[in-house]
Structure 1
Amino acid sequence: MKILISADMEGATGVTWPADVLPGTPQWERCRQMFTSDVNAAIAGFFDGGADAVLVNEAHWSMRNLLLEKLDERAEMLTGKHKTLGMVEGVQHGDVDGVAFLGNHAAAGAEGVLAHTYLANSVVGVRVSGRRASEGLLNSLVVAEYGVPVVLVTGDDRTCEDAKGYAPQARSVAVKDYVSRYAAVCRAPARTAADIRAAARDATPLAVRHAPARSGPFTVELEFDAEHLAGAATAVPGVEQSGERLVAYTMPTMYEAIRCFKAVTTVVSAAVEDHYG
């Protein structure tokens, strides 16, 4: 049995502030330790539960944040950028039985610590076929097309609540409770490590592949904080402006939809100006 851990950082133990997750800051260096602790706890729990292999896909920002030298040696880590499926790279090879979303966060426009959807700012809302979409929802739709269930989600309490909507069977661990976008009541790393390990162990039996989902087509809508970003996004084929700050596109599969989403966010990032956004 093989588990894929998609490891994001905003939902890690102790993280509440932008500097906690921005590579190169002193706070990032400190929070990398707790991020790695969360991941190691999940790895240990999955092996406790009977997994044979664990692949950790580094999924935050530069995708070079976890401390490989401190990683549980039984696991392997996929690190670095420019991956076909981004946050869930590795699920497409047919050997993954379950996926864990570790360190996840709430969607852009929702209550949650460091809430966003792929871009820290600029994108103020995403909907997929009418549903407000977190990164968890988007990626759960991707892995479902490969017949792989989401078995574990960790993050703040709002993240765990969001997960009930796309992976109701998954185990979840709230490592902190939302107070504001930049504040939370946090548990100590020793406590969250124990909780994550226990949840991963209990989640392991849920890692059973099923028939690939065929639930498309998917209509994706993005709302931006400035109208020129909507215009920029239409440079991506198939993307049309649907309002002053809105664009939409429709794809037959979530594989195609998430790749188009990546293209849109890349183009939009390049159109953001330093002072006016």
Structure 2
Amino acid sequence: MKILISADMEGATGVTWPADVLPGTPQWERCRAMFTSDVDAAVRGFFDGGADEVLVNEAHWTMRNLLLEQMDERVRMITGRHKSLSMVEGVQHGDVDGIAFVGYHAGAGMEGVLAHTFLANSITGVWLNDVRASEGLLNAHVVAEYGVPVVLVTGDDVACEDALGYAPGALKVAVKDHVSRYAAVCRTPTRTAADIRAAAKQAAELAVRHEPFQRGPFTIAVEFDAEHLAMACTVVPGVSRIGERKVAYTGATMYEAIRTFKAVTTIASAAIEEQYG
């Protein structure tokens, strides 16, 4: 049994504030240990549950956040940016039986600690076939095309509730309870590590690869907080404006749709000015 862990940081234990997740800040250095603790607990839990192999894919910001030296010696980890499938890199090789979303969060425009979709700000909403989408929802549709079920989701309580919509059978572990975008009632790393490890052990039973299936076509709409960002994104083939601050496009598969989404967010990010957005 092979498990892939997609590891994001905003939904990690103790994280509530931008500086907690911005590489290079003192708070990021502190929170890296708690992020690593969450991921390592999932790794150990999956091995407890009978996994033969656990591969971690770093999915936050520069994708160089986890402390490999503090993790179980049996794990392997993909570190660094510019990967074909970004947050779920590794799922495409046909040998993954289940995936865990560790440290996930709610989407742009939703309640939730540090809620966003791909860009920390500037995107005010993303919709997949008219359903408001989080990163979890988007990535769940990608992995479904490879026959891989989502078996575990960790994050704040809002992220766990969001996961009911895209992975109702997955185990969920809330490591903190949402108070506002920048505040939460947090559990200690000792407590959350135990909860995540126990859930991962149980989730291993759900890691049964199914036949890949297509649900397409997929129409993704992206709303920005400024008009010029929508205009900039129309340089991506197939992307058109459907409103003053909103663009949309359609992909035949989710693989195609998520790669276009990455192009859209990259273009938008490059068009953001420091002071005026």
Who is 2:155 aligned against? 155
TM-score, scaled to structure 1: 1.00
SS across alignment from 1:65: coil
**In structure 1, what is the Cα distance between the partners aligned to 2:106 and 2:213?**
24
**In structure 1, what is the Cα distance between the partners aligned to 2:214 and 2:276?**
41
**In structure 2, what is the Cα distance between the partners aligned to 1:214 and 1:93?**
17
1:47-70: CA deviation from partner (whole Å, max 9, x where unpaired): 000000000000000000000111
Report the residue type matching 1:18 in the other structure: P
**In structure 2, what is the Cα distance between the partners aligned to 1:209 and 1:41?**
23
1:257 aligns with 2:253: no
Listed as ranges, the gaps of 5+ residues in structure 2 are none
Who is 1:240 aligned against? 240
1:95 aligns with 2:95: yes
**In structure 1, what is the Cα distance between the partners aligned to 2:128 and 2:212?**
19
Who is 1:194 aligned against? 194
Who is 2:177 aligned against? 177
Report the residue type matching 2:123 in the other structure: V
1:142-194: CA deviation from partner (whole Å, max 9, x where unpaired): 00000000000000000000000000000000000000000000000000000
**In structure 1, what is the Cα distance between the partners aligned to 2:241 and 2:76?**
42
**In structure 2, what is the Cα distance between the partners aligned to 1:274 and 1:44?**
42
Report the residue type matching 1:11 in the other structure: G
Identity %: 77
TM-score, scaled to structure 2: 1.00
**In structure 1, what is the Cα distance between the partners aligned to 2:4 and 2:116?**
23
SS across alignment from 2:140: helix
Report the residue type matching 1:267 in the other structure: I
**In structure 2, what is the Cα distance between the partners aligned to 1:10 and 1:132?**
19
Report the residue type matching 1:153 in the other structure: V
SS across alignment from 1:155: strand
Of the structure 1 ranges 64-73 and 11-20, higher mean CA displacement relative to structure 2 is found in: 64-73
**In structure 2, what is the Cα distance between the partners aligned to 1:225 and 1:25?**
26
Who is 1:72 aligned against? 72
How many angstroms does 1:213 deviate by? 1.8
Post-superposition, which runs of at least 4 consecutive aligned residues in structure 1 deviate over 2 A?
none
How many angstroms does 1:126 deviate by? 0.1
Who is 1:116 aligned against? 116
Who is 2:143 aligned against? 143
**In structure 1, what is the Cα distance between the partners aligned to 2:165 and 2:67?**
32
Report the residue type matching 2:106 in the other structure: A
**In structure 2, what is the Cα distance between the partners aligned to 1:178 and 1:147?**
32
SS across alignment from 1:126: strand
SS across alignment from 1:141: helix
**In structure 1, what is the Cα distance between the partners aligned to 2:230 and 2:23?**
28
**In structure 2, what is the Cα distance between the partners aligned to 1:70 and 1:266?**
32
Report the residue type matching 1:238 in the other structure: G
Who is 2:134 aligned against? 134
Report the residue type matching 2:6 in the other structure: S
SS across alignment from 1:179: strand
**In structure 1, what is the Cα distance between the partners aligned to 2:10 and 2:17?**
9
Listed as ranges, the gaps of 5+ residues in structure 1 are none
1:44 aligns with 2:65: no
How many angstroms does 1:214 deviate by? 1.1
1:63 aligns with 2:63: yes
SS across alignment from 2:104: coil
SS across alignment from 2:175: strand
Report the residue type matching 1:120 in the other structure: A
Aligned length: 277
Who is 2:12 aligned against? 12
SS across alignment from 2:192: helix
How many angstroms does 1:211 deviate by? 1.1
**In structure 1, what is the Cα distance between the partners aligned to 2:54 and 2:139?**
18
Who is 2:266 aligned against? 266
Report the residue type matching 2:257 in the other structure: A
